[in-house]
Structure 1
Amino acid sequence: MTPRHTLCTKCALGLLCALALNLPAQAGLPVSTTNIALPTPSATSSYKPDTVVPNGVLVKFGSTLSAQNMMPTLNSMASSVKQINRSGLTLVKLTPGTETISSAMATFRAMPGVISVQPNFIYHSTALSNDPEIGQQWALKNTGQTVSNATYATSNPGTPGDDIDAESAWQYQSDCSSVTVAVVDTGINYTQQDLVNSMWNGGTQYPHHGYDFVDNDNDPYPTTGDELHGTHVAGIIGAEGNNGIEGSGVCQKASIMSIRSLDATGGTTATVTQGIYFAVDHGAKIINLSLGGTGSLDQAFSDAITYAQSKGVLVVVAAGNGDSNGKGLDVDQTPFYPCAFPQDNLICVAALDQSFQLASFSNYGATSVDVGAPGTNILSTFAGPTLTTDFSSGWTASLGTSTGWGYGKTTSGIPILVNPVDYGKSNYAPSTDDRIWTDFTFAPGTQHVALNYYLQGRMATGDYLNSGVAVGSNTDPFGSSGTQLQHETDTLSSPAAAYPIDQCAGKTCSIGFQLTSTPVSAGDTGPLIAFFELNTVATNTHEMGIENGTSMAAPVVSGIAALLMASDPAASDIDVVQAIKNSGIPVPTLSGVTTTGKAVNAMRALANLHLSVTGLVDQAGTAGQPLSVTFSISGLNALAVSASSSNTSVLANTAITGQNSCTQTGGCTLQLLPAMGGTSMIYVTVSDTFGQQATGSFLLTVPSSGGGGSMNWTFLLVLAVILAAGQWRRRGLES
C-alpha cells in the first residue's frame, strides 16, 4: 500500500485550519453491464461451463395454465422448479444426466405455451475489484469508513450511503473515454500510473495531451514540485479503475485534456480564458475549473464561458473555499467567479463532508451555487511522493545558546519545531546562531522538488529566521555549500510560495532552519514552524494523497457529467446539467443555500437522463370508437407507466402494475375510447424506482357529432392499459 500523504491550507490565525486548497482564483460488488451482449440461444448452441449455471434454464410460460400443463414434462426433466418473482420466469434445474442445456432449451421451445427459454448466465463483477485504495475513497462508496491520514477532522468516519453511488452507476456506465474532459488548472503529471491511460490523445500536434498557457508551449507538465493540484483534480475525474493500482476516478476510463493555465501561485484572465477557448476548439465537451477569485466582474472570463455555451460545452466550477480564516462565504453577497456567472451551461459546486454536511470552508449561495459534492478528505492521484517530518528524530542541531531548537505538538497533535524550546514563555537569547537540519533522499525519477511550511512568530528587528538547503548528506545548509531560501525579520509569515529546490531531485539534501540574533538583541517570540512538506513531481509515480476543497468537489461533478455524456452521446450540455441538478439527493444543509438543495448522485443522474416518453403525436378520434396510440418509454429502471387527461380522470384500473411487461423499456400502446366530441391533452408518465418521472403529452381531438352550441368536451378513458407492442427495443443502457 502506498502511503497517503497530506497537504492542507493553513489559516492566518493558529494552526487548526487544515481545510482547503485555495487557488486564485467492499461488500458485494456490482455486475458491469456496460459491454454485456447476451447471446441469442439456439438449439445447437453450446455454452462454456464458466458462462452459465450448470444444469439450469430459465423458462417463461404464457400463463399459469401453460405451466401447469407442462408439469409432467417438467417432472421428468427437472430436479427442482422455482418461480422467479416479478420476472415471470421459472428456474428449471435439470436432473443430472438427462438433458444438456442446449437440448433442454430445444425441448422447451417446441412446447406450446412457452414464450421464451434461455440459459441462466453467470456474470462477474468488473467495476470495483482490484484497486487497493478504493475503500478509502468515500465519495465513491461511503461505508462509514475512517479515512486514514485525514486532514479534515469533522465527520470522519462519516455516514454510510452519503456518497455519489458510483458503484450502482458503474453497472451501466464506467467508461467515459468517448468524452473529452478538459482540466484547466496547474499541470498534470501525465506519466502518473493511474492517469497515463486516461489522457487525451492530441495527435502529433499536441503529443503531451494538451497545452501550457503559462509557458506557451505544448507540454502542460508541472514545472515545480508543488504543482500537485491539477494532477489531483484529474484523478478525481478519471484515474483508471480496476487496474490494480491505487484508486479510481468517477470515470474508470477517461480522456483528460491537460490545460496548464495556472502555476503554483495561480493564473490570470489571459491564461485561463486561453485555456477555455483551446479546450472548446479542440473537442472538449466538459471543462473543469477548480479555480476562482473574488472581485469585480471579469467580462473576458464571462465571454469565454459564453463561447463554451455556444458550442454546447458544459463547464463545472468550484464554489470557492471561503475567507482567509477558512470560513465559507455567501457568493450571492461576495461574488466569487466563475461560480457567480449566470450561464446555463455552468454548474457551481459546494463541498460536502463525509456525512453530507456543508464543509466549514465551502462557499454557498442560494442563487449562485447549484449542488453539493464530496470535497473533504478526498484521496486522489499525486504528481509524486510527498516527504514530511514530525521533527522528533534525525535532526542535527548546532546551537549557539542553551535556549535553542525544540520540537513538540500543538494541542490538536500537529508537529511543530520552535525556538526557543519554551516558545511562548520566554524570548530567544542574544548572540545566537542556532542551526538545525536533517536529510531527505529523493528517489530516482524525481524531477521537481518544492519545500513548503507554515511559519509564525516574531523576530526582533535585525535578527533573522533563515531556511536553507545543501546537496549532500549531513551538510550544513548555512555553510559555504548551502543555498539560503527564506531570510526574514520582524513578523514572521509563511512563504508566499513553495521554494523550488530542484537541485535535490534524485539526490540526498540537507534542509533546515537557522536563527541568528545580534549581541544587543532583546530577543522576541521566535519562530514556530509546522506543516513541513517536500512536494515532488516524479515520472511513473503511483502516489496518492488527500486534499480538501471545493476544488475537489467540482471534478466529482465533472466525472458524473462525463458518465452521462458517454452513456447518451445525443444528450446536450443542458440535458446533462438538468439531469445532474434534478436528480440529486435533498440535503438539509444545502437547503436555502444552493439553487437545488441537493447533493449529486451519479446513479440517479444516469437514470434521470435516460427516463423518457417518446413517440407521442397528436391524434384525431371519433366518439365511441376505440383509438390505439403507440409510444415508447426508456429508462434504466422504469417502474410504472400511467395516463391522465386534462379534463377527465383516468379510471383507477388504468394504472400500470409491476406485472405488466411495459414497465420495462420498449414500445407501448395506450387504448382510448372517447365518449364525445371535444379536445383534451393526454399525459403519459413513466416513473422509476427513485421516484423520478418523465412525462409526454399529445392533443386528442374528437369532432362533435352535431353542429354549433356549447359542448362538454369530456371523454372517458375506459381502457387505458399500457400493453407491450412487439419486441422490446434496447435503448441506451438497459439492464
Structure 2
Amino acid sequence: MLAISTSAFAGGNTKITAKPTPQYIEQTNSLIVKYATPQNATIQSEQISTLRAQALTSTGQHFGLSLRTARTTATGAQVMKLDKKVSLSEAASIAAELKKADPSIEYAEPDQFLHILATPNDTYYSRQWDLYESTGGLRADTAWASSTGTGVVVAVIDTGYRPHADLAANIVAGYDFISDTTVANDGGGRDSSPLDPGDWTAANECYSGSPASNSSWHGTHVAGTIAAITNNAKGVAGIAYGAKVQPVRALGKCGGLTSDIADAITWASGGTVTGVPANATPARVINMSLGGSGTCSTTLQRAITSARSRNTVVVVAAGNENTNASSSNPANCSGVVTVAATDRYGSRAPYSNYGSIVTVAAPGGDMSSAATDGILSTLNSGTTTPGTDNYAYYQGTSMATPHVAAAVALILAKAPTLTPDQVKSILTSTARSFPGTCSGCGAGIVDATAAVAAAK
C-alpha cells in the first residue's frame, strides 16, 4: 500500500547521508614472518632453526601464548599460528617483539582478515538510509557478506513493471492476470506481458467523487527495493540484489479484482491456473503491497494457503489507514507475514496500520518533514503513459513490505529448505527492538543481518 507523498528525480540536489562504516574483524590468530637469507655461510641450518625456535618460544611466553609455523607463502614468508585470537594491535606488538628477539627476521606483521566491501558503488546508495542506518534501517549492508539472495525468485503481485535500466536484468518472466480490459489499460485482458502501461485515472473514473490520479509505477518501485541492480555505479541498490523479481500484474486502473489477485498468487507459487501456461520459475516469496477493507475473503485465503503448501512465503502490507490492521485484507489473512511501516527514527510511521496481527515492521518512510526521509527506488517519469527511467521517494506500508520480502530472499538463499513458518519464526526472533515508539508493530524492526545469521 502506497501513501501518496512522492519526490521524483533523475539527478539533482538532495540531502546526502554519510555512507556507513564497514564492520571489520579486528582480531587474528596468525602472523606473517619473513626471514632474511643468512649472510654468514658458516652458520649451519640446525643452528638457524634452533635460534628461530628459541625466539618463537620466548616471544610466546612473554605474551602468554604459543606460536607454530603453519605454512610458507608464495613469496617465501612463514605463516605463524597463535594458539588464541588476539586484537590486531596486540598482534602487531607480538610481531614487533618477535622481530626484536630474532635479528634474522626481515619483517613480521599481523595476518589480518580482509573482507568483501559491501558498501555498493551505486550513485544514490548514500540516500538509502533504510538499508544501512543503525537507527531505523534494515541492516542489509552487513547481511550482504553472507547472502545477496542468489537463486531466489520473489514475485511482486502489483501493477507490473517498467524495464528500468537499473532493474531489467534482474527480472524473470511474469504474467498479466488482469481480466478486465478497462482495468488492464493495455488494450487486452490476460496475457504474458506484465509490462505496466500506467494506471492513471480521470476524476470519477473509479467511483463517484474519486479524484484524478497520475500513474504510480508502483510495481516498479517495489521491485527496485527488492532487487535493483547493485554495484553498477548508478542508481540505487536492491536489498536482495542477487535474487530475481517475477512481475505478476494484477493491479491496474482503480486497483485489482480479488479473483485476479488470487489467481496471481496461485500461479506465482507454482500452482495451476486454467488457460495460463505453467510458471517456469515459481517464486519462493510473494510480495503483496496491496490491500482493501474487510475480512480476508475465502478466495484469497485459499490461494494463500495453497501457496504456503508449495513452500512459498507470502508477505503483505498492513495498510495505511492508521487503524487496526485486523480490518485490512489480505493483512488479516492467516499464514501471511504482515508488515507495518516505521520512519527513519524507528517509530511507527503515522499512516501505518498496527495491531496484534502485525508480524514485524520495516522502513516505510515518513516524508512529512523531509522528502529524503522516504524510500528511494526505481520509477518512471511518465505522468500517464510511460516516460523515461527515473528514481523517486515514496512512503507507505507498500514500501515496508518489499524490505521484508527481500530479507526473506536473503534468508532462503542461505537456507533453501526452510518452511514459511520457519522463516516467519526467524524474522520475529531476530527482529530488533524499536528505537522509537511503535506500539502494535509486531516483534520489532526486521534485522537482515541477524536473520541471515540465524538461517540454517
The TM-score with structure 2 as length reference comes to 0.70
Q: What is the match of residue 446 of structure 2?
A: 600
Instruction: Give the distance between the partners of 1:194 and 1:115, measured in 2 at CA.
Output: 46
Matched, 1:361 2:336: no
Matched, 1:267 2:256: yes
- CA deviation after TM superposition for structure 1 residue 370, in Å: 1.2
- CA deviation after TM superposition for structure 1 residue 120, in Å: 3.0
Contact (CA 8 Å) 2:34, 2:76: kept in 1 or not?
no
Instruction: Give CA deviations for 1:586-636 in whole Å, capped at 9, x if unaligned.
Output: 22766651442x1110111122224xxxxxxxxxxxxxxxxxxxxxxxxxx
Q: What is the match of residue 559 of structure 1?
A: 406
Q: What is the match of residue 212 of structure 1?
A: 176
Q: Call closer, same or farther: CA 1:361–1:243 in 2, change over 3 Å.
A: same
Q: Call closer, same or farther: CA 1:127–1:595 in 2, change over 3 Å.
A: closer
Instruction: Give the distance between the partners of 1:273 and 1:89, measured in 2 at CA.
Output: 65
> Matched residue of 2:151: which SS?
strand
Q: What is the match of residue 342 of structure 1?
A: 334
Matched, 1:73 2:52: yes
Q: Which runs of 5+ in 1 are unaligned?
A: 1-6, 10-17, 21-25, 33-51, 58-69, 93-98, 143-159, 201-208, 323-327, 386-448, 451-499, 503-535, 611-735
Instruction: Give the distance between the partners of 1:545 and 1:234, measured in 2 at CA.
Output: 13
The correspondence for 2:145, drawn from 155, 168, 171, is 171
Q: Which runs of 5+ in 2 are unaligned?
A: 8-18, 36-48, 86-108, 179-188, 200-214, 271-278, 366-372
Contact (CA 8 Å) 1:186, 1:264: kept in 2 or not?
no
Q: What is the match of residue 224 of structure 1?
A: 198
1:178-189 residue pairs with structure 2 within 5 A?
A: 178-189=151-162
Q: What is the match of residue 325 of structure 2?
A: 331
Q: Call closer, same or farther: CA 1:589–1:370 in 2, change over 3 Å.
A: farther
Contact (CA 8 Å) 1:101, 1:119: kept in 2 or not?
no
Matched, 1:131 2:122: yes
1:548-697 residue pairs with structure 2 within 5 A?
A: 548-587=395-434, 592-596=439-443, 598-610=444-456
Instruction: Give CA deviations for 1:70-119 in whole Å, capped at 9, x if unaligned.
Output: 994167799x9799x99x78699xxxxxx96664448x69xxx9999x99
Contact (CA 8 Å) 2:319, 2:397: kept in 1 or not?
yes
Q: Call closer, same or farther: CA 1:312–1:336 in 2, change over 3 Å.
A: same
The correspondence for 1:120, drawn from 105, 111, 117, is 111
Contact (CA 8 Å) 2:32, 2:77: kept in 1 or not?
no
1:414-433 residue pairs with structure 2 within 5 A?
A: none
> Matched residue of 1:599: which SS?
coil
Instruction: Give the distance between the partners of 2:318 and 2:392, measured in 1 at CA.
Output: 22
> Matched residue of 1:547: which SS?
strand
Instruction: Give the distance between the partners of 1:168 and 1:82, measured in 2 at CA.
Output: 35
- CA deviation after TM superposition for structure 1 residue 384, in Å: 2.0
Instruction: Give the distance between the partners of 2:234 and 2:260, measured in 1 at CA.
Output: 33
Q: What is the match of residue 530 of structure 1?
A: none
Q: Call closer, same or farther: CA 1:53–1:229 in 2, change over 3 Å.
A: farther
- CA deviation after TM superposition for structure 1 residue 569, in Å: 1.5
Instruction: Give the distance between the partners of 2:146 and 2:53, measured in 1 at CA.
Output: 36
Instruction: Give the distance between the partners of 2:122 and 2:150, measured in 1 at CA.
Output: 19
1:49-198 residue pairs with structure 2 within 5 A?
A: 72-73=51-52, 103-105=76-78, 120=111, 123-142=114-133, 160-174=134-148, 176-189=149-162, 191-198=163-170
Contact (CA 8 Å) 1:30, 1:171: kept in 2 or not?
no
Instruction: Give the distance between the partners of 2:240 and 2:307, measured in 1 at CA.
Output: 22
Matched, 1:383 2:379: yes
- CA deviation after TM superposition for structure 1 residue 28, in Å: 3.2
RMSD between superposed Cα atoms in Å: 3.7
Q: Call closer, same or farther: CA 1:120–1:260 in 2, change over 3 Å.
A: same
Contact (CA 8 Å) 1:177, 1:198: kept in 2 or not?
no
Q: What is the match of residue 156 of structure 1?
A: none
Instruction: Give the distance between the partners of 1:56 and 1:269, measured in 2 at CA.
Output: 71
- CA deviation after TM superposition for structure 1 residue 197, in Å: 1.9
Q: What is the match of residue 422 of structure 1?
A: none
Instruction: Give the distance between the partners of 2:422 and 2:233, measured in 1 at CA.
Output: 34
- CA deviation after TM superposition for structure 1 residue 316, in Å: 0.3
- CA deviation after TM superposition for structure 1 residue 251, in Å: 1.1
> Matched residue of 2:403: which SS?
helix
Contact (CA 8 Å) 2:34, 2:78: kept in 1 or not?
no
> Matched residue of 2:138: which SS?
coil
Q: What is the match of residue 199 of structure 1?
A: 171
Q: What is the match of residue 276 of structure 2?
A: none
Q: What is the match of residue 28 of structure 1?
A: 21
- For 1:28, give the aligned amino acid: T
Q: What is the match of residue 241 of structure 1?
A: 230
Contact (CA 8 Å) 1:237, 1:559: kept in 2 or not?
yes
Instruction: Give the distance between the partners of 1:320 and 1:188, measured in 2 at CA.
Output: 22
- For 2:286, give the aligned amino acid: I
Contact (CA 8 Å) 2:198, 2:216: kept in 1 or not?
yes
Q: Call closer, same or farther: CA 1:89–1:363 in 2, change over 3 Å.
A: farther
> Matched residue of 2:142: which SS?
helix
Instruction: Give the distance between the partners of 2:380 and 2:158, measured in 1 at CA.
Output: 17
- CA deviation after TM superposition for structure 1 residue 141, in Å: 1.1
Instruction: Give the distance between the partners of 2:429 and 2:450, measured in 1 at CA.
Output: 9
Contact (CA 8 Å) 1:31, 1:126: kept in 2 or not?
no
The correspondence for 2:269, drawn from 268, 280, 303, is 280
Q: What is the match of residue 295 of structure 1?
A: 294
- CA deviation after TM superposition for structure 1 residue 256, in Å: 0.6
- For 2:268, give the aligned amino acid: A
Matched, 1:545 2:392: yes
- For 2:454, give the aligned amino acid: N
Instruction: Give the distance between the partners of 1:81 and 1:91, measured in 2 at CA.
Output: 12
Contact (CA 8 Å) 1:56, 1:91: kept in 2 or not?
no
Contact (CA 8 Å) 1:194, 1:246: kept in 2 or not?
yes
Instruction: Give the distance between the partners of 1:124 and 1:316, measured in 2 at CA.
Output: 32
- CA deviation after TM superposition for structure 1 residue 221, in Å: 0.5
Q: What is the match of residue 494 of structure 1?
A: none
Contact (CA 8 Å) 2:375, 2:395: kept in 1 or not?
no
- For 2:403, give the aligned amino acid: V
1:474-485 residue pairs with structure 2 within 5 A?
A: none
Contact (CA 8 Å) 2:432, 2:446: kept in 1 or not?
yes
The TM-score with structure 1 as length reference comes to 0.45
Q: What is the match of residue 90 of structure 2?
A: none
- CA deviation after TM superposition for structure 1 residue 295, in Å: 2.3
- CA deviation after TM superposition for structure 1 residue 228, in Å: 1.0
- For 1:360, give the aligned amino acid: P
Higher relative contact order (CA 8 A, sep 6+): 2
> Matched residue of 2:150: which SS?
strand
> Matched residue of 2:269: which SS?
helix
- For 2:445, give the aligned amino acid: A
The correspondence for 2:360, drawn from 367, 371, 374, is 371
- CA deviation after TM superposition for structure 1 residue 132, in Å: 1.6
Instruction: Give the distance between the partners of 1:256 and 1:288, measured in 2 at CA.
Output: 10
Larger strand proportion of the pair: 1
The structure with more radius of gyration: 1
> Matched residue of 2:240: which SS?
coil
1:482-493 residue pairs with structure 2 within 5 A?
A: none
Count of equivalent residues: 360
Instruction: Give the distance between the partners of 2:400 and 2:73, measured in 1 at CA.
Output: 54
> Matched residue of 1:348: which SS?
strand
- For 1:171, give the aligned amino acid: A
Instruction: Give the distance between the partners of 2:316 and 2:363, measured in 1 at CA.
Output: 14
1:494-509 residue pairs with structure 2 within 5 A?
A: 500=384, 502=385
